[in-house]
Structure 1
Amino acid sequence: MIITIILTLCVFVSWLLIPHKVTRYILGSIFTFALLLMIVGITANMTHHWGMEKKVITSDKKEIYSAGSKDSPANMLIANEIGKKTNNYIMVYKNHSDDQKAQTHFKPNMDKDQLSESVKHQATYKVKDTKKATKQTRKEVWVWKSDIYKSLFSFGHNNQELIKKVTVVTVPKDTWVVLDAKQAKQLQNSQQKQNNAGTQQEQKKVMQQLASNYKKQNPEASQQQVKDYLNHQKQIQATKQIKQEIGK
């Protein structure tokens, strides 16, 4: 930007303020040619990102936590698709294990200065054989090849220009269930009806049997190992039950 202004001033001065004819033509031609090259370079940068290169930035995986109640052994991710067959979702989950309420994530920001970046951001989810639920963002950006190109063609915008950004939320297939907002509401009503003494007693018997089998297979297991095993089995059983209720 500064170089362009300087060249423009040099063209003006050389053609209009230099009295010596030969000097005027030589310097005027040089500065005019340099300014034309600068304009061509700026145009190429704006249309084809000349002087820039693509760079991929991948964030570290960050653990996320269930959108459901802390009392529920099953973990829930609430995901509502934006549009139809876009594979782009607004999701609800907790950012920290001690959060009281789940937060809404990836809702497009419709402010004028944020709209362009929101359109380039896609959020999706995967269900995999893994132990923890995580999120990870992969960002593709244009960056300057060198400080020279930056000084020539930068007009004060950031060092990075976003091409696209994809956030992937990955949840364990055995202990997490993915619901939309309507299914989550139906499930809440269903669980309130089923939360009775008979159901709790039946679940207790199942856990006792699982604990007995585990101790037989692992006679040297500590109490903490048995507890961890049973908690994991509670999550698996609760997740299976939810999936059956919603037909997944």
Structure 2
Amino acid sequence: MIILLIALFAILAFVANMMITNRGIRIVTTVIMFVGLIASVAGVAANMNSHYGMKEVTTTTKKQIYTAGTASQGFGLLLYQGVGTNGAENVYVYRATDNAKKTTVAKPNLKTSSRMSNISGNKAYKITKTTRYVYKNATMRLMFGIGGNNHQLKNKHVVYQVPSTWVALTTTQAKSLQSKMTPKTDAEKQALAQQQAQLAALAKTDPDKAAQLQVAAVKKALNIK
């Protein structure tokens, strides 16, 4: 609509300047048309640069995520790795469903930030807070909506909530985990077998406690505080 108004004001200004013989009326009409033209162009610029006529709408979604490891591990695993020159943002790896065969790799972008937080319970979640620009009303959408910028993304903030039955590891830590936890002597092998038997028995009566003990062992092996 605003493009039509710009064209209309430009045409009317030209017609008024060329066709109206009365000098006073011609000047007044031409000035009015030019004012309308300038206001319309300014409106387009304000809409493009400052989202004039729009408001911010924020929505929050909460989805359960599932371990990036195997079910036999007995504890949840969230993988991450810093990206970029300063490593300020991370790529996160998890499963979107309990029976997903492939992991989901969540990559950051210029409008997305992310972090991790600890929660109680035994389930992990991905909390996504999304802010978009939408037109304030139908009139503004009619005027400026030709640009297709309704529901334009402003920013997105993601929080990965990790319970005590889960552990968050960098991909480098995950690769070194097996070698660090593999027993090297007969005594260590015997101790590990006893621990695994105890964990298997505990998992039948208190799976959360068994998972927490495994998480503690992983953190100790990797020197994670």
TM range (shorter): 0.7 to 0.9
Identify the residue that residue 74 of structure 1 maps to in structure 2. 75
Aligned to 1:129: 120
Query: Displacement, 1:92?
Result: 0.6
* Partner residue of 2:37 out of 22, 35, 38: 35
User: What is the alpha-carbon distance in structure 2 between the residues aligned to residue 232 and residue 12 of structure 1?
Assistant: 78
Mapped partners of 1:176, 1:102: distance in 2: 16
Matches within 5 A, 1:96-245: 96-106=97-107, 108=108, 118-172=109-163, 174-191=164-181, 199-205=192-198, 208=201, 227=204, 229-245=205-221
Cross-structure match for 1:115: none
Bigger fraction of residues in strand: 2
CA distance in structure 2 between the aligned counterparts of 1:188 and 1:6, rounded to whole angstroms: 72
Aligned position for 1:224: none
Residue 133 (structure 1) shift: 0.3
Deviation at 1:193? 5.0
1:40, distance to aligned residue in structure 2 (A): 2.6
Mark the runs of 5 or more structure 2 residues left unpaired by the alignment. none
- The answer (yes or no) to whether the contact 2:63–2:126 under 8 Å persists in 1 is yes
Q: Among all aligned residue pairs of Structure 1 and Structure 2, give the percentage whose two residues are the same amino acid.
A: 26
- Measured in 1, the distance between the counterparts of 2:153 and 2:208 equals 41
Would the aligned equivalents of 1:76 and 1:176 in 2 still touch at CA under 8 Å? Answer: yes
Matches within 5 A, 1:80-91: 80-83=81-84, 84=86, 86=88, 88-91=89-92
Moved more, 49-58 or 130-139: 49-58
Aligned partners of 2:119 and 2:162 also within 8 Å: yes
How many angstroms apart in 1 are the aligned matches of 2:144 and 2:12? 18
**C-alpha displacement at 1:183, in angstroms?**
0.3
Q: Secondary structure at the match of 2:160?
A: strand
TM-score, normalised with respect to structure 1: 0.76
RMSD: 2.6
Q: Give the TM-score normalised by the residue count of structure 2.
A: 0.83
CA distance in 1, matches of 2:189, 2:65: 30
Quote the Cα distance in structure 1 between the aligned partners of 2:195 and 2:137: 68
Task: Assess if the C-alpha contact under 8 Å between 2:180 and 2:222 holds in 1.
Answer: no
1:71: Cα distance to partner?
A: 1.2
Instruction: Answer whether contact 2:199 2:210 (CA < 8 A) is retained.
Output: no
Contact 2:183/2:192 (CA < 8 Å) preserved in 1? no
Aligned residues: 217
Name the counterpart of 1:93. Answer: 94
